[in-house]
Amino acid sequence: MYTFPSYNNELLYLMLYPKMSSIDQRLWKRIKRVSENLRREDAVLVVSHHDADGITACAIIVNLLKEMGKDVEFKILRQLDSVTIDSINSTDRTIVFTDMGSGQLSLLRERGLKNFYIIDHHPPEMDYKNQVNPHQYGYDGGIEISGAGVAYLVAKSLGNESMAHLAIIGAVGDMQDSDGKLHSLNRIILNDGVRNKLIKVKNDLRLFGRQSRPIQYMLAYSSDPFLPGLTGNPNACIEFIKNLGISPKREDNSWKSYVDLTFDERKKLATALYIHLLDCNVPEFIIQGMIGEVYTLLNEEKRTELRDAKEFSTLLNACGRQNKSEIGVHICLGDRGKYLKKARSVLQKHRLMLREGIEFLTEKGVEELSNLYFFDSDGKIDENIIGVIAGMAYGAQIVSPNKPVIAFAIDKENPEFLKVSARANWSLVRRGIHLGNAMRSCSRDVGGEGGGHDIAAGARIPRESKNEFLNIVNETFKKQLGD
């Protein structure tokens, strides 16, 4: 039977993970210098990215500056490109970019931006005095720290450690725990969160809804990973649970959440799911990601989405990708009431759109070139969630893990352009794939712009150059793979 390594107890956890490593001193010096400059600013506009990491990064800096008595506003963008840069250029405030900017430094200069800071974890184009980016000190921003993590280190250097949980939500939102745990700088931040009693860590099943949903809905709504025969079928899920001898109901006849199960029942369910996915030939990296560390937010109410970092990040992703990012920022800053109510309804819509997107793709299928899979949304998948759907294609077994996935959607602001999202997996990255480099150079070759991480990236390209772009990307992947 699968056994969760258990280190519920904070002390034991800290013994197992004593300071795994400390922050590189040169990076810490840079952070302190940039933070000191930031301390001298008065009116600030924080500009961030519309996913869970961008929203948490934004909230960390807004909280920091507000506590320091500054006049702060924030704005969340879909992406940083020539159009969106121009939309913020008229502000008199000092701009602080979080979770974006490093990959667009030349564009920011080209568009005439002057007084700005960059707090980011995307591979940087070049150095800049008011930039904090761990890549410049040998860290990989795709796995060792998120945008929210870098924002947290800035706050920490100014004496504010109160938002460590948001940095963990950001890292989880960027899937930096996809092999079952957080590493390196993320781990140092996690230690701060545990020490300050904001977070508890243990190993367990990592499905959305473990706190907030009846077990059969946790299973039936699981799209990450997709559970063959169970996702989309609550009745089959009840049977699955009952066949394990687990009662899905409490004594008062209400439905149990996963967190209501005993330790033995949880082990039984996790083992059965593990074997079920192996039987269904689900790729091993997807199965492994299903079990691992879960991060409980100790100041949040039990049995709500906000109690679990993965659920929290899903809620924020939904807000961001459904153009309601400001609700997400408010929730991160501690507002509840009408904001939480609205976020929950946005989440429902988001999950429906993801389900419909996956159904569309299952029916339509993908096309392939020698080194990539690709598909077009045919106007049926919104550009904001096309990347999420592309990433889910592995778990839903629409594509096999041997090649990256490239997806196209209509650019809402300019239908003459296409939004491109690219997704890979760690096995491809280990073999040499770097999607961010490929998106940056190949989009430029056809008159577009793009960038991102090795494992997840995106671009914007002229519509008519789609085929040319695909061929160039295919050739680039061939070179990256070294054959």
Give the one residue of 220, 309, 457, 473 binding ligand C5P; rule: CB under 6 A.
Answer: 457
Rounded to a whole number of angstroms, the minimum distance from the CB of residue 462 to ligand C5P is: 13
Give the one residue of 81, 99, 120, 383 binding Zn ion; rule: CB under 5 A.
Answer: 99
CB atoms within 10 A of CB 144: 22
Residue 458 sits in the site that holds ligand C5P (CB under 6 A):
yes
CB atoms within 10 A of CB 4: 18
Copy the structure tokens of residue 185.
Answer: 């700088």
Distance CA 11, CA 130 (A): 38
Residue 51 sits in the site that holds ligand C5P (CB under 6 A):
yes
Give the one residue of 208, 230, 452, 480 binding ligand C5P; rule: CB under 6 A.
Answer: 452
User: Given the structure tokens 């196209």, which residue do they identify?
Assistant: 408
Distance CA 1, CA 291 (A): 13
Rounded to a whole number of angstroms, the minimum distance from the CB of residue 337 to ligand C5P is: 27
Copy the structure tokens of residue 285.
Answer: 């990296």
Give the one residue of 61, 72, 172, 175 binding ligand C5P; rule: CB under 6 A.
Answer: 175
Query: For the purposes of burial, counting CB atoms within 10 Å of the CB of 15, is it exposed (0-12), middle (13-18) or buried (19 or more)?
Result: exposed
Give the one residue of 35, 54, 194, 454 binding ligand C5P; rule: CB under 6 A.
Answer: 54
Give the one residue of 101, 103, 123, 214 binding ligand C5P; rule: CB under 6 A.
Answer: 103
Copy the structure tokens of residue 158.
Answer: 């100014």
Residue 53 sits in the site that holds Zn ion (CB under 5 A):
yes
CB atoms within 10 A of CB 178: 19
Give the one residue of 81, 174, 293, 454 binding Zn ion; rule: CB under 5 A.
Answer: 174
411 binds, among Zn ion, ligand C5P, none (CB under 5 to 8 A by kind): none
Cis peptide before 415 (omega within 30 of 0): no
- Of the candidates 30, 39, 84, the one whose C-alpha atom is nearest the C-alpha of residue 61 is 39
Site string for ligand C5P, 387-426 (x = CB under 6 A): x---x-----------------------------x-x---
Distance CA 35, CA 31 (A): 6
User: Given the structure tokens 């020698």, which residue do they identify?
Assistant: 370
Q: By three-state DSSP, how is residue 141 classified? A: coil
Give the one residue of 193, 450, 461, 473 binding ligand C5P; rule: CB under 6 A.
Answer: 450
423 binds, among ligand C5P, Zn ion, none (CB under 5 to 8 A by kind): ligand C5P
183 binds, among ligand C5P, Zn ion, none (CB under 5 to 8 A by kind): none
Give the one residue of 60, 238, 343, 459 binding ligand C5P; rule: CB under 6 A.
Answer: 459
Number of residues binding to Zn ion, judged by CB under 5 A: 4
Separation in Å, CA 102 to CA 107, 178, 421: 10, 24, 19
Rounded to a whole number of angstroms, the minimum distance from the CB of residue 75 to Zn ion is: 17
Distance CA 345, CA 334 (A): 18
Interface with Zn ion (CB under 5 A) = 53, 99, 147, 174
Interface with ligand C5P (CB under 6 A) = 49, 51, 53-54, 79, 81, 99-100, 103, 122, 147, 173-175, 178, 387, 391, 421, 423, 449-453, 455-460
